Structure 1
Amino acid sequence: MNIDDLHLFVRIARLRSISSAARDLGFTPAGASARLAALERKLGARLLHRTTRQATLTEDGLAFLPHAEQVVLAAECARAALGREQAAPRGTLRVAAPASFARMHIVPGLPDFCGHYPDLALDFRISDSIVDLVEGAFDVAVRYAELSDSTFVARRLAPDQRVLVASPEYIERRGRPNTPDDLADHACLVVGTLDLWTFRGMGGELIERRITPHLRINDGAAVRDAACAGLGIALMATWCAADELRSGALVPALPEYTLVSTQTLWALYPSSRELAPKVRVFIDWLTERFGQQPYWDRGLDKFLGSS
């Protein structure tokens, strides 16, 4: 049984499209259909229901898929053991990542990554909505929270530290709050649903406040820009607001209190006995790029305190 045919079947099953899988693997749609038909003849079973819009697994296809996936992964790992595949993984890597984070901290580094792995094509889905990794056929996802789903493995990439900020113009106009309770008298800007803000007081006590937002936007960069424009006080991730803090476009709004964040940046990928080479090199690259202390947090100690 041809490994390439199994790889094609697995890709079609994940993407639910013969033409998309063919494009990923360098086949023509007609060629992919012919190879799939030949595989079904060898097996004596129909693996997929085909329509003009999509391909879905038959009952036999559902039973065959996990075994095909294991064979394909084993073949990739066997090539990696020779050293060549690890240096130059091939195929298409499908990645899901938060929109603002990807634009600011992943996409700018892609020329470096692609320069090391010119035979690896990238297919990115950047969105602040949580996507289904299996449904979307993603190989790896960058997320702010670790999943409890045991079918995925989470690898820590970087801390996701938070700081309360406002523009100097807003502080001059409205004054600086002295305690978390004072936020009720201020215009607060909220990213998505993150309206429960947790602080550590000067005595080490934890203080939680549910914020009624003056402005809510489901995009961190847009909230940062609104804060820079003087619209209010915002809870921001340092990866999003580091440059503005360094330049003075944003200043700490409640400096005596430290924001407590339970967020961490993780890379998630399907669990298996072996990690596909293309996934491994991408996650290793992210880990090296961000480092033990992410580059965006360097020099921000005076803004962060200790949490």
Structure 2
Amino acid sequence: MSEIVAACTLDPETAAFADASAALARVEATYAALASDGRIFEFESQQPGISPEVADNVSWAYDIRLSSKKGPGRAYYDEMRLQAPGGSCTNCMARDAAALDHYLPKIDFPVVAIQPTNLLPICTACNGTKLKTSATEANEQFLHPFFDRLGPERWMGVTVLEEPSSPTVFEVRRPANWDDTLYERVQNHFERFQLGVLLSQKAGTLMGNHRLAFESFFADALDGDGPAAVRREAARLALSYAAQPQSAWAAAAFEAWSNSTWFCSGGWRMEDDRPLDSAMAHRLAPADSASAG
């Protein structure tokens, strides 16, 4: 935080801002304490030791010094944006992070406009949905990737529909260790940003990328072991994607597909597929030719 303040205070116009460096550090600590306890909605715009002039300077510093491509603090902005796991939006976990977003909006909370823990890598779509929204009650708080810990238990539920290409339905499933407030927060976050629709679309694309591979596993299996071979590959992919936090949705999808007997028996195929014809053509042609000879 102190380095960012220093980079954004290079002229007399921001002298009051520079002199408030210690006070801004205390504000950052207050923010962290509340966010860690799930009470960021209690953070107040007016903070002790921060005058309206300083707050205005902090907001100005973000626009002119930090986020501007020619600003002296731009390197810090880019570094924070690139901290997104896998380059993914920390809000939806599925689209590419294109910018930094103020968790507590800059227009209402200028005092934390350049605070790193208030700046989240976000995609354009989520940024446009969130806008300047902030919570006034505990259950209204969007998830904060730097402070909220949802626990190791799988909370993203996936249902496989027995239709061509095995489309999926994503939903929030409450782990035993969640209290009512956290459950409501996750549900509200999921619904506000339409993550169910988004993740189902992403899973459809993911399945399209793996469909021919599943066909090959099915065709190459011996002694009618095709469904088991597909199940093993889907389970392996679930474990592989689970190793990356930003790919939790993909891990959940592959786990659901691996647990579906219908899917493992050929449910990955599209409606106009001719089961096994393409995959087996290279095997049948030589045998037919040999018989004819």
Range class of TM-score, shorter chain? under 0.3
Larger-gyration structure (1/2): 2
**Structure with bigger RCO (C-alpha 8 Å, 6+ apart):** 1
TM-score by length of structure 1 reads 0.27
TM-score by length of structure 2 reads 0.28
Structure with the larger strand share? 1
